[in-house]
Chain A
Amino acid sequence: MRTGRRAAATAALVLVLAACSPAERKDNTGVYMLLDTSGTYANELEKAEHIIRHTLSRLDASDSFAVARIDTGSFSEKDIVAKTSFDDRPSTMNRQKRLFAQQVSDFVRNAQSSPYTDITGGVLQAVEFLNEKGTRRKTILIFSDLKEDLQEGYVRDIELDLDGFDVIALNVTKLRSDNVDPREYLGRLADWQTRVEKSGGRWRVINDLDNLEGLL
């Protein structure tokens, strides 16, 4: 009888302690931004820096952010320009933001143009990164004209698992050929939308970079 009471008291204590034990914030956000550095699009990177700074100002403690470039083979950690998970102490978080902004700024100034554009590899890398971080909201920003140009031998006909992901295409510029035949541009957008939505993700396009309030 006494043992039973002791067990009940211990269980109650454990329950109370479990209820009071600190838990991490569960509504955190993970953002992975892909920067297209191929061809003439590399000139657009200053706009990307503006978006990155805006994103940094919107992110909070325990959020994660990574910026990676899209080049010939983007499914690689080496393509990550800057990445961080923000500390829950405000002063450290501010330092991290400043450092991140500095890293991106350095990259933009010294970015080299790549001959090929492996967007799918970048998306795969983003999915892997964000799943590893385990954030509640997962957002992939693609700063590109969405024209994929793979080097011979690279296999990217892979099923993506984008369930629970927001995929946002930013600054999808029109190529010279798009001006000749706009169906190419619309087709590119439609293809990516279909591909993302088939994979379980939500697709959005934002071309007005002066109005980024709804980005996150």
Chain B
Amino acid sequence: MNFVLGITPWPVLSALFWIVLVVGALYLARPTAHRAIRATAGSLHNSLKLASRAVAQAEANLAQRNREVLLAAGREAKERIVEREFDRVNDSVRKDLANYAALHRSLSGAIDRIEKDHQDAVEVPPDPPGWVKAVEAVAKIDSREGRVGISDVLGDIHKSLVKAHEEALAAYREASARRHALLHRMQPEWRRVRQALGHVQKSVDSLLERSVAIDRHMQEYEDIVRGHDRAISVLSSSSLVYFFVSALVLAVAVGGATINFSLIARPMAEMVGGTNLIGGFRTADIAALVIIMVEISMGLFLMESLRITRLFPVIGALPDKIRVRMVWITFTILFLLASVEAGLAYMREVLLQDELATNALLRGEAEGATLAGEYLWITTAAQMGMGFILPFALTFVAIPLETFVHSLRTVLGLAGIALLRCTSLLFRVFGNVFRWVGLLAEQLYDLPLFIPLWLEARIGVAQAKGSARLGRVGT
């Protein structure tokens, strides 16, 4: 500093000298400096713009891939649903059609019986009374011939008439009673027919409902196949929902597995030792963890073999006979492991009581160190029950796990898209910032050069005026 201000005896003069020198140098270097600033800012702007475009392109590619993944997943899910619906329809139709012949026979038989009974129940017109002919005969007798003894004839007629009437009445009553009996017998047949028809109605309604559901699913399937935006939106939101729900269920399952682990880790020390280490972890802990992992794996294979999940296409594609064998094998292994766990849980309780007794003894509370308690069996039974049930409960982890794995792809894709979009935006913003910073730097460069620039402008104006004057003189 002293050197700078000491080049003349007067510091102010020295400072002025330096200012003039620097300003002069800056003025002379101005065009070059401006070009350098513009080039730097421009290159940064263009680079970031290029990067932004590249990231945007990557985002578009990822979005396309995510779209394809979503559509594929949605298509597969819909195919499964439709397939299942068709299976149900198939079952229903097979069941109903299998019974159709019997139903038809039953209905035909019932109708025949009703028809026969109906025919039998038709009212038979009573025979014309015999006295009509007698009356006709009496009417034809000449009055002269028949005067004698007519009252006797009429009396006989009266008797015959009364008798015939009584007989006809009795016959009519008997016939009516028989008809009523026949009609009464038809009643259960009608009910049977109505029940059969009701069953048919129910089956048909069920089939109609299924067909409506299949129609709806097929419509959605077509939307997915055609790649409609609405289908993508629905699948995307469903995927997010599935992801969070399955993550929640998996968290619960992890809690269950942790409880399971604590149930068997302590007694495992009795089997493999409590101080051996593998890779810095206790062998007993690793053994307990391996048992739980094997149980979960068996659960996965069981679910796969039952075709509830489809994580391993190889298992799903196995012939039914082998698949059923696999179901039994995995179930047996699971059952054995569950039994082992129940035993270990019992062992845990025994060890715990032993340890409590030893500690009590060491504390000098020997009388309190009783192994058996009145309610000890409750905790022991509870632990054994948990040890047995938890492996089977963990089997069902396969279902949320499958959903989690499938939805994870989409969720990761969506997260990647969001990240790439933000990166692209940032690149674009920073590119523009650099462009404006370049302009600002040019202006800031010119700021200390305001005197030479002002002089330059004045000279320029004067030269322009001089040129104009010369031009006018020339003309």
Residues of A participating in the B interface, judged by any CB pair closer than 8 Å: 19-25, 28, 50, 53-54, 56-57, 60-62, 88-91, 93-94, 97-98, 101
Contacts and interface: CB of A to CB of B under 8 A. Distances in A.
Contact of A24 (B276, B279, B362): B276
Interface stretch (B193-201, B202-210, B352-360, B414-422): B352-360
B274 A24 contact: no
Contact of A94 (B275, B278, B358, B363): B358
B183 interface: no
Contact of B275 (A19, A20, A25): A25
Most A CB within 10 A of own CB, among B276, B357, B358 = B358
12 contacts: A22-B277, A23-B276, A24-B275, A24-B276, A24-B277, A54-B362, A89-B269, A89-B270, A90-B355, A91-B270, A91-B351, A94-B358
Given A88-B269, A90-B354, A91-B270, A57 B362 contact: yes
B346 to A, nearest CB: 13
Nearest to A93: B274
B11 interface: no
Contacts of A53: 362-364
Given A20-B278, A23-B277, A24-B277, A90 B362 contact: no
Contact of A56 (B270, B274, B362): B362
B109 interface: no
B448 interface: no
Given A61-B273, A88-B273, 20 more contacts: A20-B279, A21-B278, A22-B283, A23-B276, A23-B277, A24-B275, A25-B275, A28-B275, A53-B362, A53-B363, A88-B274, A90-B351, A90-B355, A91-B351, A93-B274, A94-B354, A94-B358, A98-B358, A98-B361, A101-B361
A97 B279 CA distance: 29
Nearest to A25: B275
Nearest to B350: A91
A19 B278 CA distance: 7
B266 interface: yes
A53 B361 CA distance: 9
A90 B266 contact: yes
A53 B279 CA distance: 34
Contacts of B279: 19-20
Interface string B260-294: 00000010011001111111000100000000000
Interface in B341-379: 351, 354-355, 357-359, 361-364
Interface in B298-354: 351, 354
Contacts of B278: 20-23
A88 B269 CA distance: 7
A91 B350 CA distance: 9
B264 to A, nearest CB: 13
A98 B361 CA distance: 8
